[in-house]
Amino acid sequence: MSLEALIFDVDGTLADTEETHRQAFNAAFVQFELWWDWNREQYARLLAISGGKERIAQYIESLGLPAGEQARLKELTPAIHRAKTRLFTELIADGRAPFRPGVARLIQDAQAAGVGVAIASTTSAANVEALISANLGRDAYRKFATIACGDQVPVKKPAPDIYQLVLGALGLPASSCVAFEDSGNGVQAAKAAGLYTVVTPTVWTAAQDFSGADLVLPSLGDPAAPLDWASARKIGGPYLALRELAALHAGANELPDAA
């Protein structure tokens, strides 16, 4: 089965955005006079929950508040999250989250070769557009075959719904696509959808379980930022190029010879 599309997660995969998200959450809390302050360790734990609104709701439940106050805060959650999204996109526009090594190169090489590039993310569409535009240029997101975000499906990762939505929009079988993720939840979602999955963990996700992934690398690598020797040996080169990726994907899809 030939390689016909690359499907990327966003936060942590395209760029290490989580610190920028954390700062935007805390700034939004101040705007609503909540005075919550998520530190790095706390936010790392909250990342086990997919989706910003879901993280806020889970945090509210953890506070042990009276039922009435808990209900009031949960009603505020969508507004808090909208404020956080606005603040995040402002920070992204200022260049706070550059793409990780190899991401822009692989996306552009795939698009030039006629291989589709899609997004399957739990973040909002506004965040995706801001990040892509800041790193690839204004309107670059229009070159993506499809962009699917968390609010478009009833259940977020680790459920496979977002990947199934993307595959349906692409009109392609899972066997002809590769997913790129950075988290354990993302790996579970991609593998449940039947996708060959490449993982590039960040400091936020490095301790998570990636045992289901097909390939784990510290990054995709670039000519100016080559992979370490052990990683390069896995893929047959100093960085993950489209040709090497297609070969790895093809090898994984080969059926064993009949007995």
Distance CA 184, CA 30 (A): 31
Residues near 81 by Cβ (< 8 Å), separated by ≥ 6?
A: 28, 52, 53, 56
Q: In terms of domains, do 153 and 249 share one? A: yes
Q: In terms of domains, do 179 and 223 share one? A: yes
Residue that is last in its domain, among 46, 61, 93: 93
Q: In terms of domains, do 87 and 110 share one? A: no
**What confidence tens digit (pLDDT) does each residue in 122-136 have?**
888 888 998 999 999
Distance CA 212, CA 66 (A): 41
Amino acid 2: pLDDT: 92
Count: domains in the chain: 2
Do 118 and 170 meet the contact criterion of CB atoms below 8 Å apart? Answer: yes
Q: In terms of domains, do 104 and 224 share one? A: yes
**What confidence tens digit (pLDDT) does each residue in 61-115 have?**
999 999 999 999 999 999 999 999 999 989 988 888 999 999 999 999 999 999 9
Amino acid 259: pLDDT: 32
Q: Identify the residue whose tokens are 């992934």.
A: 213
Helix or strand or coil: residue 220? coil
Q: In terms of domains, do 137 and 232 share one? A: yes
- Whether residue 259 lies inside any domain: the answer is no
Cα four-point dihedral sign 104, 26, 120, 93: negative
Question: Catalytic residue positions?
Answer: 9, 11
Q: In terms of domains, do 69 and 117 share one? A: no
The CATH number assigned to the domain holding 35 equals 1.10.150.240
Q: In terms of domains, do 81 and 103 share one? A: no
Q: In terms of domains, do 126 and 227 share one? A: yes
Here the tokens at position 209 are 């379980």
**What confidence tens digit (pLDDT) does each residue in 19-68 have?**
999 999 999 999 999 989 999 999 989 988 888 999 999 999 999 999 99
Distance CA 186, CA 156 (A): 10
Distance CA 205, CA 122 (A): 16
Report the chain's terminal Cα–Cα distance, integer Å: 22
**What confidence tens digit (pLDDT) does each residue in 192-225 have?**
999 999 999 999 999 999 999 999 999 999 999 9
Q: Identify the residue whose tokens are 């998570």.
A: 208
Q: In terms of domains, do 84 and 183 share one? A: no
Amino acid 138: pLDDT: 87
Section 163-184 average pLDDT: 98
Residue percentage of the chain with pLDDT more than 70: 98
- Indicate the angle between helix axes 242-253 and 103-112, nearest 10 degrees: 80
- Whether residue 49 lies inside any domain: the answer is yes
- Whether residue 258 lies inside any domain: the answer is no
Domain of residue 36: give its range: 18-93
Distance CA 143, CA 145 (A): 6
Amino acid 258: pLDDT: 33
Per DSSP, helices labelled H in the chain are 18-31, 40-46, 52-62, 67-93, 103-112, 125-136, 161-170, 184-192, 229-235, 242-253
